[in-house]
Copies of this chain bind each other. A is one copy, B any other.
Amino acid sequence: MFTAPKLTAAEVAEKIGAQLEGDGSVVLDSVGDLEVATPNQLAVAGGEHYLKRVPQCHAGALIVPVGAPVPEPHPALLRAQDMESAFIDACALFAPPAPELAPGVHPTAVIGEGAELGEGVRIGAYAVVEAGAKVGAGTWLWPHSYVGYEATIGENCVLYPMASVRERCVVGNRVILHNGAVIGSDGFGYRVDRAGVRTKIPQTGIVELGDDVEIGANSTVDRARFGVTSIGKGCKIDNLVQIAHNCVLGDHTVLCAQVGLAGTTTLGSHVICAGQAGLAGHIKVGDWTVVGAQAGVTKDLPPAGMFLGSPAVPRMDFGRQMACINGIPKMRAALKEIAEKLQTMEAAANAFLAAQGEGDEAEK
């Protein structure tokens, strides 16, 4: 069982390239959140918001930015130029090593006829690699993963338990598929006749995942009706995401958890869709655009914009819509006041005219 190493603050500072300030002899064995960290833990205090809480914290040592004033009292400080890097490196110092799949091919793995396994491929218990498939050098297939007929998996990939890639799909290098991810399920395609009865349209295409793509647990990427459902290099797809047939994602695009793209929709590169957003089919989203959480995108979106709401509108407009809706009670009150004032003026005018009429009568 893993036991975390014990390192002094001074040792940690040296390993992560931070400048030690204060007593570096305190012994640390883990990382903790600033608010709850204990004296055996290293925490982080980056911005103003966190730095002002330092006097209340109990961490044994803190990673802080170079040059930032730190209120007393504070523990030993590890001053870092790049806070994010420093923290990542610190976590790694105390983290257990990632588990290793045993080298080689487990005796229970089923490798189909003509399947090619590259050098250093590791295959776990009960993994299945169908006939004609190719698995690139250095790739790890964890127990219960599945690689379909004539599918191609690149080098240094990881398929976690229950991840599956169906026939003829092409997976690039250094791709990670998490538990239960499905690559190449049939697209949702049917003919419908006049009686409303549906007949399945064969989905004859494939999925292609570019290098460095990561697909989260239980996410699903459907094969194309014809051609390719294509995910560009470096895309990061979170859990429980749906990517329908014939979608195309540019490089370095990010889909957060439970996002859904309908068929034949194209996202540019560096697009970000926040959690639970939904995009209609046959639309295009420009590069660098951000789609907000739970947004519902029904039309093409230009590049470098931010869109919220359902139906999705530019962020400024969404803000105005919200302000408008929130301002309706005031408008209703103003309307009521105006109606009453109008009534008063009408009555006064009528009274005046009536008096005028009597006056005229009197004068006659």
Q: Which residues of A are in contact with B by a Cβ distance under 8 Å?
A: 1-2, 30-33, 84-85, 88, 91-92, 94-96, 98-99, 108, 110, 124-126, 128, 130, 132, 143-144, 146, 148-150, 160-162, 164, 166-168, 176, 178-180, 182, 185-186, 188, 190-191, 196-198, 200-202, 204, 214, 216-218, 220, 222, 225-227, 234, 236, 238-240, 242, 244, 252, 254, 256-258, 260, 262, 269-270, 275-276, 278, 280, 288, 293-294, 296, 310-311, 320-322, 324-329, 331-332, 334-335, 338-339, 341-342, 345-346, 348-349, 352-353
Contacts and interface: CB of A to CB of B under 8 A. Distances in A.
Given A144-B164, A338-B339, 15 more contacts: A2-B168, A85-B191, A91-B202, A98-B167, A162-B164, A185-B216, A188-B256, A239-B242, A240-B240, A258-B258, A276-B276, A280-B293, A321-B325, A328-B331, A345-B345
A188 B216 contact: yes
Given A162-B146, A164-B161, A335-B338, A179 B185 contact: yes
Given A110-B125, A240-B220, A258 B257 contact: no
Nearest to A100: B149
Contact of A198 (B110, B150, B234, B238): B234
B149 A146 contact: no
Contacts of A280: 275, 293
Contacts of A202: 88, 91-92, 95, 98
Nearest to A259: B258
Contact of A275 (B167, B178, B260): B260
A312 B237 CA distance: 26
A190 B128 contact: no
Contacts of A180: 162, 164, 180, 182, 218, 220
B95 A226 contact: yes
A218 B216 contact: no
The secondary-structure label for the interface of chain A is loop
Nearest to A109: B125
A320 B331 CA distance: 13
A260 to B, nearest CB: 5
18 contacts: A1-B132, A84-B191, A85-B191, A91-B204, A99-B167, A125-B128, A126-B128, A144-B164, A160-B185, A176-B186, A217-B220, A240-B240, A244-B257, A294-B294, A327-B328, A338-B342, A342-B345, A345-B349
A57 to B, nearest CB: 15
Contacts of A185: 160, 178-179, 216-217, 239
Contacts of A294: 278, 294, 296, 310
Given A162-B146, A226-B91, A275 B262 contact: yes
B188 A239 contact: yes
A328 B324 CA distance: 6
- Which 10 A/B pairs are nearest by Cβ-Cβ distance? A95-B204, A324-B328, A185-B217, A99-B149, A217-B220, A179-B182, A182-B217, A242-B257, A220-B239, A196-B270
